[in-house]
Every structure is written in structure tokens, then in C-alpha cells.
Structure 1
Amino acid sequence: MRNNKLPPNMWAGIRTKAASESESSWYQVQRAGSVPLICLAVAYVDSGLLFIIQGIYHETISLLIPVGVFSAQSLVGIIWIYMASRNSDPSQKSEWNQ
């Protein structure tokens, strides 16, 4: 995504209205969202390990802990990706300037 190697498609990438307007906006949105998306992937690995640890030590660690961590990481990551892709869209910036 960061190196413009993900062409416009229906299956992978950040698919927003702004990204689908043109090929250049697609690449701009993908570049802007690549860092938050990688961070979210790392957070999901972290949550996966926490679920495994909870499964091993289920008597001492409540299931609510990994579920809560996963939910919080997902919420923050998705908002971060949305804001990064929104900030990369020139049509959204013009609305804020009016």
C-alpha cells in the first residue's frame, strides 16, 4: 500500500468513497492509511497472544480482559485509519475550510 503496489480493486485496501473517485486518490488514501493499518495488524497479533495466554491461564485471567483489549485496539485502529484516509482526501479538506 505504501509503495503504490496495490491497484484499485474491490477486495483489498481502504475502500472509501474518496478512494474510489480516481486512481490517484486511491493511491493517496492507501499511502495515508498504510501506517495505521500496519499498527492495527500488530495490535491484532498482540490480542491473539493475549487470547492464547488467557486460554492457558483461564482460572486466573478473565475472558473479559482479552476481549476488552481487542475491542479497544480495534476501535482506536479503525478510527485512526478512517482519520488518516479522510485527511488525505482533498475534497474533505475543502469542506473544513468553508
Structure 2
Amino acid sequence: MSVSLETIKDSLRIDDSADDVLLTGYLNSASQFIKQAVGGDESYFEDNSRFDTAVIALASTYYTYRMTTLTGTLTVLDATMNALISQMRGEVASLEESQSKSS
């Protein structure tokens, strides 16, 4: 995984290790969610700063909003993460198209 536990803890300004297991789970879940949402080859995600930023944004959202209550309000998904996923989808589609033309 590109985003380390220390990176997400720095982003969230967490100094202790009480939530390390929880944060690691959120990082793994965020990474898998984004990879499935974008599609493409696993190599696309290596050393990809957009992917790393999207993982940080989604894992941070998971951590910040751990409890969901439904009181008639609408929860809006993280705009940063959604924008990054859209950009990566476009880039993957472009890469796949250029690869199919060269084949």
C-alpha cells in the first residue's frame, strides 16, 4: 500500500497508537474501494499521487464519521475523493485506449 499508517495519522493529527488497527483497516478498505471504482491495472496505482490522496481522503472520512445516524439528513460523499476517482477513471480509460490502438 502506498499510504502508510504514519501518513494517515499525520493527516488526522493523531499522536497515539490507540486507533492503529482501526486506521489500518480504513486504509485497506479505502484502497480497495478506490481501486475497484477506478478499474485498471494494479501497476497504475503504484507511485500515483492522485491515488494516495484519494486513499487519505476516504480513510480520513471513514475515521472522522465512524458513526452514522439517520435523522433525515443526506450525507454527501467526500468531494475530493470523488474528483480524484473521476480523474483516475479518465486516465485509465485513456491508457487502455492507447494500449488497444498499439496492439
TM-score, normalised by the number of residues in structure 1: 0.41
Q: Which has the larger radius of gyration?
A: 1
TM-score, normalised by the number of residues in structure 2: 0.40
